Structure 1
Amino acid sequence: MRENQISTGKIIDGKEVFAVELTNTRGSKVKIYNYGAIVSSFIVKNAHGEDQDIVLGFDDIDGYLNEDYLSEYPYLGAVIGRYANRIKDGKFQIGGSEYQLTQSLHGGENGFDKKVWDILPTIDPSLTLQYISPAGEENFPGNLTVQLSFKLTDEDELILDYHAVSDAATAINLTHHTYFNLARQGGNVAEHHHRMTASKYLEQDNDYIVTGKVLPGEGTIHDFLGGKAIGQDWDPEEGYDQTYVLDKPYGQMGLASETTERTSGLKLEVYTTEPVAHFYTAKYLNVAHGKGGRDYKKFEAFCIETQHAPNSVNIPAFPKTVLAPGETYLQTTIFKVTV
């Protein structure tokens, strides 16, 4: 694997924005910006020997900064933090103190997805990004130092390693919001075949807030254990925007999902150390002038967001999402592509 670092010519908040390309011996390529740790492209060979980009995004950095895009903001390819997904009423308590966040998705008005991360030197050809989130940013306590490493192996595995420490107890739940489409021509993902190693899913209220109740998936529209077409049982207006509890020991690396597509012959497997995976089929996607000038519409992608349960900072029975001083937050997620 090798890397190539190119300046975009953009300066945001006094920091230069770079595109870093990782390449392996198969000729696969991943492009990542240090702005938002955005995975902008992931090019692999499909079953026909064609180079195929399996993630949604823009041809250059300007697309991610465009006001029209930000007004419909779907977090295309970006890292999510400090806290992924929704927290009930935007509130949580740590040590008797209550913290009120902006009531918005994925870490606040200006989360980690809109920060320019520092590029750290690495020994092997990989990319390690660092962001230091000051205490009080988006009303979170503690100075939080986060490192996120990307490595592309010769087996077409994109490995994401997360590492974080804080000088005060804080809530943390990181994930990555890459939008995948494995079809040669893109389009609706209803025909993608999808399997999840999850026999249970998390109940959500009408505002998509996780309640703390764990429900059996068998026999419901959320039953993906045996695999099926994504659109087989879905509500065609809603699709999926649901958190699944993975059938594996807490903290151990294991398979979360496996998605295949007939026209390309591609399969995407997602492995993670995290306890849950949020499966989202892009109901709210509405992006103009994506790659090659293409518009992206609802249900034209799927996301596998590996994380701790949304709102678990308010649910004591769930695996904890409070990071104390002296502790280290660690997470590894692998996106593996095969033909």
Structure 2
Amino acid sequence: MKIIREIINSTSDQNNLELLSLINKKQTTVKITNLGGIITSILFNDKNGQPVDIVLGFDNINDYCSEEYHSNYPYFGAVIGRYANRIKNGRFQIDGVTYQAAQTNGSDCLHGGVEGFDKKVWEIVEVAEVPVGRVKMKYISPDGEESFPGELTVYLTITLTEDDEIGIEFESTTDKPTAVNLTHHGYFNLNGGEGAIGGHLLKLNSSNYLEQDDNFVTTGNLINVMGTTHDFTKERTIDRDWDPSEGYDQTFVIDKETAGLELAAKARSEKTGIVFEVHTTDPVVHLYCGKYIAPLKGKNNVQYGPFSAFCLETQVHPNAINVPSFPNTILKPGEKAYSKTVYKLSHVN
């Protein structure tokens, strides 16, 4: 395993930006910056041995800070926190106290508020090449940041193995009861970012999805996928049953038997032969097909736009803080919130 560490000269007010490249013996490469914990690149050889970058993003780290990018912001490859997805009306209660977060998506709070973990510069606390390539970062979110109570300490660890497995681990502690639901918001296109992803093949290990209101906030009800346009229990193209103007923006409950790592999703491209599996300790995976990606130039001068990528965001049920029947997302002092997601890369046999 080889790790290259580069200092980035930032044109914004961000300081101490770095880009780290984890490279295994097969030349599979994962590039990470401490700006938002963004995975800027995943290079993996296609069926013909040619390297393909399977995540959307930019060649220049400073482009992640540009006004143009933030004017229609898709959160390319970043950590989402303190709370992934939407909180109804931006409001929640802990121990009888009501907290009002910013209403950044209509009347609801999206992805942690005005300035979530995706825009923070994380401290790099560990870089190691053995036994696997590893980068560990830390961010301390102060009490009251984005109206969330408690000082929250989060460790993010990203790993790459010689077997082409990419691990993403979150570990959090707090000094006051608070709401926590973290995810990593990678945008994937197994054809190197070119074209729409409707023709990608997808299978989800999920018999139920979460009902949403008109602003995509979960209501607490589960809907069985059988006989619906959301049935991915057997592999099919993403666009087979979708509304071509909407795609998918839906949370699926993983059919899990344990609290450990289990398969959530498997995608593949017939063009490149690349197979992408998502294994996670989390209970749900959110499928988003990039409807709101604004037209912009990405890596290698590739033109991005709506439906240029799919996201498979592993997390706890969105809006769980307001739905008693959903799993707990309140973290208390003395407890530790932990989750792990693994991306497994391979080829069609």
TM range (shorter): over 0.9
Residues 1:184 and 1:173: Cα distance change in structure 2 (over 3 Å): closer
Amino acid at match of 1:63: D
Alpha-carbon distance between aligned partners in 2 of 1:319 and 1:74, rounded to the nearest angstrom = 27
Q: Shift of the alpha carbon at 1:155? A: 1.1
Q: For the Cα contact (< 8 Å) 2:194–2:303, is it kept in 1?
A: no
Alignment of 1:90-129 (within 5 A): 90-104=90-104, 105-123=110-128, 124=130, 125-129=133-137
State whether structure 2 residue 313 is matched by structure 1 residue 313.
no
| 1:295 lines up with 2:303 in the alignment | yes
Q: Provide the residue aligned with 1:224 in structure 2.
A: 232
CA drift of 1:249 comes to 3.1
Q: 2:265 aligns with which of 243, 257, 266?
A: 257
Q: Deviations over 1:82-128 (max 9, x none)?
A: 00000000000000100000112200111000000000024544100
| Contact kept? 1:118, 1:130, Cα under 8 Å | yes
What's the offset of the Cα at 1:15? 3.2
Tell me if the contact between 2:55 and 2:193 (Cα under 8 Å) persists in the aligned partners: no
In structure 2, relative to structure 1, the CA distance for the partners of 1:38 and 1:287 (3 Å cut) is farther
Cα deviation, residue 287, structure 1: 4.1
User: How far apart in 2 are the matches of 1:323 and 1:262?
Assistant: 43
Which secondary structure does the structure 2 equivalent of 1:18 belong to? strand
Is the 1:145–1:166 Cα contact (8 Å) retained in structure 2? yes
Pairs within 5 Å for 1:66-215: 66-104=66-104, 105-123=110-128, 124=130, 125-184=133-192, 186-215=194-223
Whole-angstrom CA distance in 1 between matches of 2:205 and 2:248: 16
User: Per-residue CA shift, 1:28-50, capped at 9, x if unaligned?
Assistant: 11110000000000001110110
Q: Which runs of 5+ in 1 are unaligned?
A: none
Structure 1 pair 13–171 and aligned structure 2 pair: CA distance change class (3 A): farther
Partner Cα distance (2:258, 2:297) in 1: 41
Query: Deviations for 1:290-313, whole angstroms, at most 9, x for unmatched residues?
Result: 112222110110000000010000
- Comparing 64-73 with 8-17, greater Cα deviation is found at 8-17
- What amino acid sits opposite 2:113 in the alignment? G
In the TM superposition, residue 142 of structure 1 has moved relative to its aligned partner by 0.4
Q: Percent identity over the alignment?
A: 45
**Structure 1 residue aligned with 2:24:** 24
**In the aligned structure 2, how far is the partner of 1:112 from the partner of 1:185?**
25
| Gap runs ≥5 in structure 2 | 105-109
Q: Which amino acid aligns with 1:117?
A: W
CA contact (8 A) 2:193 2:308 kept: no
Tell me, yes or no, if the aligned pair for 1:278 and 1:306 is still in contact at 8 Å: yes
How far the C-alpha of 1:215 sits from its partner, in A, is 0.7
1:191, CA displacement in angstroms? Answer: 0.6
Shift of 1:12: 6.2
Aligned length: 339
Q: RMSD of the alignment, in Å?
A: 1.2
Letter in 1 for 2:126: P
- 1:33, 1:134 → 2: CA distance? 22
Which SS does the other structure have where 1:309 is aligned? coil
Tell whether the 8 Å contact from 2:126 to 2:137 is kept in structure 1 after alignment.
no
Q: In the aligned structure 2, how far is the partner of 1:272 from the partner of 1:189? A: 23
Distance 1:192 1:127, change over 3 A: same
* TM-score normalised by L of structure 1: 0.98
- The 3-state SS of whatever aligns with 1:37 is coil
Alignment of 1:25-64 (within 5 A): 25-64=25-64
Give, in angstroms, the shift of residue 227 of structure 1: 1.4
Q: Counterparts of 1:115 and 1:142 in 2: how far apart (Å)?
A: 17
